[in-house]
Amino acid sequence: MKNTLILFISMFVLQAQAQNTGVKRYLYGNEEIPGAAKLLKDLEEKEKPKLYTHTSQVSNPKDIVFLVIPGGAYVGVAIGHEGHDVANRLNELGYHAYVLDYRMPIKENMIDKRFGPLQDAQTAMHIIRQEHKGKKVAVLGFSAGGHLASTLSTFFNKPQLKDYKKKHIRPDYSVLCYPVISMEDGVTHQVSREKLIGPNHSAEDVILFSTDKQVTKKNQPTFLMSAKDDEGVPIENSYRYQAALNKYKIPNTIFEYEKGGHGFGMINKTDDRRWLDAMIEWLTTLK
């Protein structure tokens, strides 16, 4: 627990270094949040989900738009180095990007906290589809945000709002960075699991929210990234997701670091290779 605390303190110190934070909007505008257990006026600012638009200034933007979902163990959002910094880099490369500041799964705030973050992610996808008609959308998530990204990628057949069409909330590509995938003992990240499905979770929820077990032939091409010495979220999470994709012959690749630990964002200081550059190159091979 001490190491976990140090890890997430470091993550939120890093986010303070972010510069351009894009254009902020409230995810649901001024409307009441569907599925919320509190009225909008009773929510604290940090409890209101937001979407930040980062628009690339290049003359001919690329035909893929990114939804970036930062991590934070479902206790917070590391929106700096796993959010805005990533979106800014994507802008430089010619990609429009959005950063999601999603709600934490807190039972006092949500009718069903297990699905609150997914509702926010699906809503963000719905907005992006409306604003970029005809373009492909890739979801890019880190750590617990990687779990949310993988949930978005596998739960598109479970629209959280009735007017959401499955094809509109399904990402075309998934990029999962040192992701939490499994809820099983010995593999999962304990804090993320406890916050999402509770300390007294059911066996059914362990299966349901282990997203490797939810992969089907309809899943999207996926780029995975993780370090072998990650003690916070073992690389076994990525291996399990890859194995599930391989079962259905879905295009995928995993970018592995020998060292780097967890939560390093775009830059692993132990290795000169840049996974984000490799990811962009890999996506271009899929067209």
Strand partners, 65: 137
Neighbours of 71 (CB within 10 A): 34
Rg (CA), the chain: 17
Is pLDDT of 204 > 50?
Answer: yes
Work out the average pLDDT over 94-120.
Answer: 97
How does residue 19 score in pLDDT terms, banded at 50, 70 and 90?
low
3-state secondary structure of 104: coil
> Based on the structure, what is the number of domains in the chain?
1
Residue 124: domain span: 2-284
CATH, residue 54: 3.40.50.1820
Summarised one tens digit per residue, pLDDT across range 35-72 is: 999 999 999 999 999 999 999 999 889 999 999 999 99
State if pTM tops 0.75. yes
Closest by Cα among 123, 143, 133 to 67: 123
Q: How far apart are the first and last CA of the chain?
A: 44
Predicted confidence band at 16 (pLDDT cuts at 50, 70, 90)?
A: very low
Three-state secondary-structure class, residue 23: strand
